[in-house]
Structure 1
C-alpha cells in the first residue's frame, strides 16, 4: 500500500493534536461505510440516541460499539487503511480498535456538539490514542468540526458532558477512583477567540485524525437538504492501559479487564502492526500532507 501518512503529517499530529488527510479512502470504502451507517440508523443498538431540542428540527443521531455486528463496519476496520493511518500518526508499533461511533446530523439540526475532549469519557489512559473522523457526505465549513490547536498538550483533564444537556457527567457511587484533577472546558475562552481553532471543509474520502485529548466541538447542521453522516473510529496504541473514572464511562467497559491491564487485548484487538522502523514516508512536497498548514482554516 502506498504511504498515506507523511513525516509532516506525523509532526503536525504531535504538535497540533489534529491533522486533515485528503483523499485517503477510496470510493469503495466511502460507499461501504455509508451503507453501514444506514444499516445502523435503521436498527440502532441500546446505546443509540436521537437528540433534538424541539420536534420541528432535525435530529442528532449517534450510536457506537456495533462494528462486530455490522459487516460493513467490520470490513472497514479490518481491511481499510484506517488502522495503518492511526498507528503511524500515533507513532505506535501497533494499532488496536477500541470502538466505532456513528454521528449523523440531519438537515435542519440545531443541536451542536459542545466543546469537549474524548479521553475523559473512556476508561483508557495513555498518550497513543486517536480517532479517525470520516464523513460520507460533503461537510462545508459552516458545519465543520473545529479543534483547539495543541489542546492535547494542555496539562488538563476535562469533565465529560452529556451532549443532550451539556451538563457534567454525574459522579458515580465511588467505584471509580479520583486519581487526577478534572476541570471544566474553558468554553467561554474558546468562544471568545482566546485559543486558535483549526477546521476544514471536507469531501467523502477525506478524514480528520485527532488525539483523544484534543478539545473539539461542532455546530448543528443548518442545511435543509444535506445530512452530515460520519463514522468515527477510535484507536489505541502501545502505551494504553485500563483505568477508572469517577463517573460511569461511555461506552461502558464490558470486557473483563482490570485497572492497570494493557488495553490492547483480545477485547480490543490489534488490526495493524508495524513491520519496519519509522521512516520519512515521502519527500517534502510530494504529498498533500505538505499542504496541511495552508489547507487548514485558522478560525
Structure 2
C-alpha cells in the first residue's frame, strides 16, 4: 500500500460510503491480524468480574428489568449501573429489547474498551494494518487520529439486542470527520446478531443523545433528542445488514444510526470496533459523552486531537514503520495476565 493511498478501497466504495453512511469491505485484514484481536478479546473476557471496564450487558438487562435483582458488576466501576437502572425504570416508554425464543438467562453480552493501551496486537491492527489508510481515504482526511477501541461479544443464546443509536454524542468530539470500523471475529449474519444500519441517516442533520444500549432510554445529561424508535417500525427505514466473515470490515460514519439484534443462535458473535478521527475533528467534552478510560490529556474545546491519548496513525512518518513499536517505546507495556 502506497503512502497516502489505499489499494483496498475503490472509488465505488467511497461513493457508497458517502451515499449510505456505511460500506462493507471484504478481506481487508489478514488471518494473523484477526487472531491478534481474538487473543485480546479472550484476555478481556477472562477478566470479566475482575476488570474495571468489562461488563455483561445481558446480565445487567435482567437486573434492570427485575425489581428483585440487585445490580452486580463485580469490579467494574466505569459506569454507575444503579443510576442506569433507576434511569431506565423511570422511563415510561422504556421496554426490554430482546429476541424471542428460549434461552432466558443463558447468554452473555460482553462489553469492554481500550485494549490498545495494553495489547500490542490490537495496536498492530489499529495502527499498522490497512485500516488507517482506508479510513483516511473514505473521510478525505489529511491526517488521522486513532480514538479508541471497543469490544462487543454476544455469546450463543444471547437475547439482548443493541438499541439503535448514533455514535457522535458518545464521543468527546465535535465535527463529523469520524468513522467506526466494525471487525467481526466470527462469521456473522442476521441469525447471530449482525449489525444493522439505517442507510442515509448520516445525512439527517440530527445529533441523537446516547442511549444505554439495552433500552432506547437516553442519558439525562445529554441535551440532544432521543433517537427515533426504529425497533418499533423497522419497515419505515432503509435498513441494511451484511453477512461477514473474519477479515471483512464494516465501516460507518459517526452520524449513521445503527443497532444489532440478539444472538439466539448456537454460534458466537465476537467483534471489536476501532474509531478514527480526521483532521477537521476537534475536542469537545460534550454533556452526556461516556468518560474515556485512562486518558491523561488536558485538551479543551476546539483543540486538535494532539495527544498521546489519540495517536496519529496516518500518514506514517516513513513507509514501513511500525507505529505499534514506536508506541511501545513511549511508555511501559501493561499486558493483562
- TM bucket (normalised to shorter chain) is 0.7 to 0.9
What residue number does 2:100 align with? Answer: none
Cα distance between partner residues in 2 of 1:79 and 1:8:
24
CA distance in 2, matches of 1:253, 1:168: 25
2:47 aligned with 1:43, yes or no?
Answer: yes
Structure 2 match to 1:209: 251
- Map of 1:12 onto structure 2: 16
Partner of 2:110: 61
Match of 2:197 in 1: 147
**Is 1:120 aligned with 2:124?**
no
The 8 Å contact of residues 163 and 215 in structure 2, kept in 1 or not, is answered as no
Match runs of 1:251-270 below 5 Å: 251=292, 254=295, 255-270=297-312
8 A Cα contact 1:94 1:274, kept in partner:
no
Q: Which has the higher contact order (CA 8 A, sep 6+)?
A: 1
In the TM superposition, residue 48 of structure 1 has moved relative to its aligned partner by 1.6
SS in 2 for 1:157: coil
What is the aligned partner in structure 1 of residue 213 from structure 2?
163
Residues 257-283 of structure 1 deviation map (CA, whole Å, 9 limit, x = unaligned): 1111112433211111189xxxxxxxx
Structure 1 residues without counterparts, runs of 5 or longer: 173-177, 276-299
Aligned equivalent of 2:315: 273
> Hey, what does 2:127 align to over in structure 1?
78
Secondary structure at 2:251 match in 1: strand
User: Mean alpha-carbon deviation: is it higher for 80-89 or for 108-117?
Assistant: 80-89
Q: Measure the CA separation in 2 of the matches of 1:248 and 1:67.
A: 20
Q: Report how many residues are paired.
A: 266
Secondary structure of the residue aligned to 2:202 is helix
TM-score by length of 2: 0.74
| Alpha-carbon distance in 1 for matches of 2:234, 2:169 | 24
Tell me how far apart the structure 2 counterparts of residues 126 and 9 of structure 1 sit (CA, whole Å). Answer: 22
Alignment partner of 2:290 out of 249, 252, 264: 249
CA-CA distance at 1:37 after TM superposition = 1.0
Match of 1:235 in 2: 276
Could you tell me how far apart the structure 2 residues matched to 1:69 and 1:228 are?
Answer: 23
Moved more, 71-80 or 203-212: 71-80
Match of 2:182 in 1: 133
Question: Helix, strand or coil for the counterpart of 2:117?
Answer: coil
Q: Which runs of 5+ in 2 are unaligned?
A: 63-103, 318-337
Provide the C-alpha distance between the structure 2 equivalents of 1:237 and 1:222, rounded to a whole number of angstroms: 37
Q: Is the 8 A contact 1:101 1:231 kept in 2?
A: yes
Which ranges of 4 or more aligned residues in structure 1 deviate by more than 4 Å? none
Q: 2-side partners of 1:28 and 1:252: how far apart? A: 27
What SS class does the counterpart of residue 159 from structure 1 fall into?
coil
Residue deviations 1:215-252, cap 9 Å, x none?
0000010112x110001000010101011322253436
Root-mean-square deviation over aligned CA pairs = 2.0
Q: TM-score, normalised by structure 1?
A: 0.83
Rg comparison, structure with higher value: 2
**Structure 1's 16 and 253: CA in aligned 2 closer, same or farther, altered over 3 A?**
farther
Note closer, same or farther for the CA distance 1:210–1:192 as it changes in structure 2 (3 Å cut): closer
After superposing the two structures, state which structure 1 stretch, 264-273 or 126-135, moved more.
264-273
